[in-house]
Amino acid sequence: MNVPADTVRARLARVRGNARAAGVDALVVTHLPNLQYLTGFTGSSGVALVLPRACLLIVDFRYVTAATELISGLDGLVTLETFERSYDEALVDVLRRERAARIGIEAAYLPVSRFNAISSGLASRSALPIDVSTTSPALVPTERLVEQTRVIKDDIEIAALREGGRRLGAIARRVADFVREGRTERAVAADIEAAMRGAGFSRPAFETIVASGPNSALPHARPTAREIRPGDPTVLDFGGVYDGYCVDLTRTVQLGATSTALARLYGAVAEAQQAAIAAVRPGVAASAIDAAARNVLQNHGLAEAFGHGTGHGLGLEVHEEPRIARLWPRLADPLVEPGMVFTIEPGAYVPGVGGVRIEDDILVTETGCEILTRQEDGG
Amino acid sequence: MNVPADTVRARLARVRGNARAAGVDALVVTHLPNLQYLTGFTGSSGVALVLPRACLLIVDFRYVTAATELISGLDGLVTLETFERSYDEALVDVLRRERAARIGIEAAYLPVSRFNAISSGLASRSALPIDVSTTSPALVPTERLVEQTRVIKDDIEIAALREGGRRLGAIARRVADFVREGRTERAVAADIEAAMRGAGFSRPAFETIVASGPNSALPHARPTAREIRPGDPTVLDFGGVYDGYCVDLTRTVQLGATSTALARLYGAVAEAQQAAIAAVRPGVAASAIDAAARNVLQNHGLAEAFGHGTGHGLGLEVHEEPRIARLWPRLADPLVEPGMVFTIEPGAYVPGVGGVRIEDDILVTETGCEILTRQEDGG
């Protein structure tokens, strides 16, 4: 989507506040979803430089026409730069011209080699050993300066996620029809992807998972040429990008008669998902939502069968903050806030029996949550 | 694809030689296509540690079952490690256990934050300022230790690329039928992607480009709801992943009568592509292949209209080495060797007239090249 100027203004203001708090007077944005969030730019390469009173978008030849059109709608909030040589040389030129002193980089994404190239370009001396303390101007590793703003969705993001969730939920009601005896996992995946295109998704948000029979016990199986047989559980995990935003959903369907062991697994996972959804409200720790699901599975003797986290944030990326998972030392355990959007997707995988996963997307509200992928008018 | 043990053995031997030449006794492989190349592992996260006499594959819970099965076919060349906490902590534990002294990291991919985490884990002291010179054991930025081997395709890779090229070329012969008056760019993109699925591609290699009329003048346009009209040129740029390998192709088709200006553009680009293909043979510099295309366009007064490079390597990634582009200071200008596979895709984009791009994939042979996407039995 094109982001309205007022939204860009608000997002830039928040990120400038984050940069100030981190003690940097310039922020080099190289992570493309962050670039898209701040400017609306959707190319496959580009750099933004957020300064206290300007935001520069650096793009290469291929994107000059598209970027010029994009920024023409942004009230002068973003200005365009292009170049002949390389992004890093262009960035160094701009940083020198703007006389930035403490320059934040996105440490979670900027590779060591680019850090070195920018650092040595600024210092005009050799880059190794990396030693930020003697580099002037200073290149400062920062974390989450854009992400901490992105984690709370604004109104236009919520509208896109709600509509995407509604459309994906409508497809979920039809997927059991795709799973028929003798069809291959790949054919079912193709049906799901065609249904997503038909429903207005621009592309799959990730490689569709269709995992039948023994494959269902692999949490991240890829579709194979295996033909689905009566008695098989089939895990269908799929998502699409709607208006730039990712939604993600899993259903486990059963062809033919269900074994007792599988029925118990399904019941336990469904109960775990309900418990986690019921635990969502502002102020609750992410790990407490995970624990709600995990305790249910533990009570069913399935603690070992649930080896992944309970959920992940959704937005411009299909995996983003917040992470809904067990508490680990040194990993963040955010408190849930209104405007967060994430998946709730417990699963249980038992080799020899099969696997079950059930996933929906929720929006945290003032009082609890709204399930985006189970709207009654979905479709 | 599952990589045969003999192929894994040969690839590991070459990469160990590269590591030795770079002066490191361990190489931490975090770039996923490199991981796939060395072990066949195709998960969405994982780390390999290449040591002189062992290769360890570190995966998280989700991939233990799949990775166990994978390495069971590899004659003990790769051994599995899993963990409870985080990849970087697991990696530090393994590096300490193996007593690696000079540890290469992939500087083009490893983010600054992970470099810091591993570095501080090894040194058990604070990570900032980054100072590799005083860290013992030493974490050493390296470049291209796996890529310099990947750039020359081995037999199983050539087989996959040839078959993928053949199938993509067969689709290219049909795409003009998809472009009909009143159809939207998005509908045509959906047809192309369905044709790729039907032809055995596991997924698109990138977001399909269908750029009609004025949009054709944008080298990287995305499909829109624009309806194609008589007189429009339409650039169709699409690719698929076949047996793990990416192929990529562009055709520009014309609906209805062609303007004289467009016909001239098309003729010039076709001539440029032929000139570049004719220039490919072992020992030629990549920049000379680019120059062959660029000179033709310059002779037609279209130097300014061709702002991108002539081609890029293909393999596990859709953009990899070698880069076929103009000579720039400090950027590599490789000599072409047999076994390289890359695109040849000159284009010319003239606002007000339209754009034309023609792209095929070639394999460098001992005497010249083989065009993978124009095989006579394609389809």
pLDDT tens digits, B355-377: 999 999 999 999 999 999 998 76
Residues of A in contact with B126 (CB under 8 A): none
Mean residue pLDDT of chain B comes to 93
Mutate to test the interface with B, among A62, A82, A112, A345 (most CBs of B within 10 A): A112
CA angle in degrees (0–180, nearest 5) for B123-B35-B140: 30
> pLDDT band for position A126 (50/70/90)?
very low
Min Cα distance B23 → chain A (Å) is 15
Is the pLDDT at B351 greater than 70? The verdict is: yes
pLDDT for A136: 65
The average pLDDT across B28-37 equals 98
Residues of A in contact with B115 (CB under 8 A): 112
DSSP secondary structure, A263-299, as one string: HHHHHHHHHHHHHHHHH--TT-BHHHHHHHHHHHHHH
The average pLDDT across A72-99 equals 93
Task: Count Cβ atoms within 10 A of the Cβ of residue A123 and give its class: 0-12 exposed, 13-18 middle, 19 or more buried.
Answer: middle
Q: B149-167: string of b/e by CB count within 10 Å (b at 16+)?
A: bbbbbbebbbebbbbbbbb
Contact B109 A107 (CB under 8 A): no
Contact B331 A86 (CB under 8 A): yes
What is chain B's alpha carbon radius of gyration, rounded to the nearest angstrom? Answer: 23
**For chain B, what are the domain ranges?**
5-149, 151-374
Supply B309's token pair. Answer: 């490079």
Is the pLDDT at A339 greater than 80? The verdict is: yes
Is the pLDDT at B138 greater than 80? The verdict is: yes
A129 → closest Cβ in B131, B220, B221: B131
Min Cα distance B367 → chain A (Å) is 33
Min Cα distance A286 → chain B (Å) is 17
Is the pLDDT at A317 greater than 80? The verdict is: yes
Contact B113 A108 (CB under 8 A): yes
Task: Count Cβ atoms within 10 A of the Cβ of residue A211 and give its class: 0-12 exposed, 13-18 middle, 19 or more buried.
Answer: buried
**Contact of B85 with A328, CB cutoff 8 Å:** yes
Contact A65 B351 (CB under 8 A): yes
* Separation between Cα atoms, residue B90 and residue B114, nearest integer Å: 13
**Minimal-distance CA residue of chain B relative to A203:** B207
**Contact of B308 with A62, CB cutoff 8 Å:** yes
Least confident of A158-172, A228-242, B85-99, B359-373: B85-99
The yes/no answer to whether this complex scores an ipTM above 0.95 is: no
> pLDDT band for position A1 (50/70/90)?
low
A129 → closest Cβ in B108, B111, B132: B132
State pLDDT tens for residues B225-275: 999 999 999 999 999 999 999 999 999 999 988 889 999 999 999 999 999
Contact A132 B133 (CB under 8 A): no
Min Cα distance B365 → chain A (Å) is 31
**Contact of A277 with A344, CB cutoff 8 Å:** yes
* Separation between Cα atoms, residue A178 and residue B264, nearest integer Å: 49
Is the pLDDT at A135 greater than 60? The verdict is: no
Q: Which residues lie across from B250 on neighbouring strands? A: B237, B359
Contact B218 A65 (CB under 8 A): yes
pTM of the model: 0.86
Superfamily of domain A151-374: Creatinase/methionine aminopeptidase superfamily (3.90.230.10)
Min Cα distance A368 → chain B (Å) is 30
- List of residues 6+ apart from B372 with CB closer than 8 A: B161, B162, B164, B165, B166, B169, B247, B341, B360, B361, B362, B363
Helices A155-172, A185-198: inter-axial angle, 10-degree rounding: 130
* Separation between Cα atoms, residue B181 and residue A29, nearest integer Å: 42
Minimal CA–CA distance to B246: which of B306, B172, B196?
B196
**Minimal-distance CA residue of chain B relative to A133:** B129
State pLDDT tens for residues A187-226: 999 999 999 999 999 889 998 999 999 999 988 788 999 9
Is A151-374 the same fold as A5-149?
no
* Separation between Cα atoms, residue B141 and residue A37, nearest integer Å: 31
Supply B139's token pair. Answer: 């974490």
Is the pLDDT at A29 greater than 90? The verdict is: yes
Contact B112 A105 (CB under 8 A): yes
B61 → closest Cβ in A107, A190, A308: A308
Is the pLDDT at A179 greater than 60? The verdict is: yes
DSSP-based three-state secondary structure for A106? strand
Contact B132 A132 (CB under 8 A): no
Contact A66 B194 (CB under 8 A): no
Residues of B in contact with A112 (CB under 8 A): 105, 107-108, 110-112, 115, 141
- List of residues 6+ apart from B329 with CB closer than 8 A: none
Quote the percentage of chain B above a pLDDT of 70: 95
> pLDDT band for position B129 (50/70/90)?
very low
Residues of A in contact with B307 (CB under 8 A): 61-62
> pLDDT band for position B327 (50/70/90)?
confident
Mutate to test the interface with A, among B36, B62, B103, B112 (most CBs of A within 10 A): B112
The average pLDDT across A253-268 equals 92
**Minimal-distance CA residue of chain B relative to A349:** B62
Min Cα distance B254 → chain A (Å) is 22
* Beta strands A26-29; A47-50: pairing state: antiparallel
CB pairs under 8 A between A and B: 111
* Separation between Cα atoms, residue B267 and residue B296, nearest integer Å: 10
Residues of A in contact with B65 (CB under 8 A): 217-218, 351
Superfamily of domain B5-149: Creatinase/prolidase N-terminal domain (3.40.350.10)
* Separation between Cα atoms, residue B185 and residue B47, nearest integer Å: 40
Size of chain B in residues: 379
Minimal CA–CA distance to B349: which of B289, B302, B296?
B302
State pLDDT tens for residues B155-208: 999 999 999 999 999 999 999 999 999 999 999 999 999 999 899 998 899 989
More confident site: A330 or A236: A236
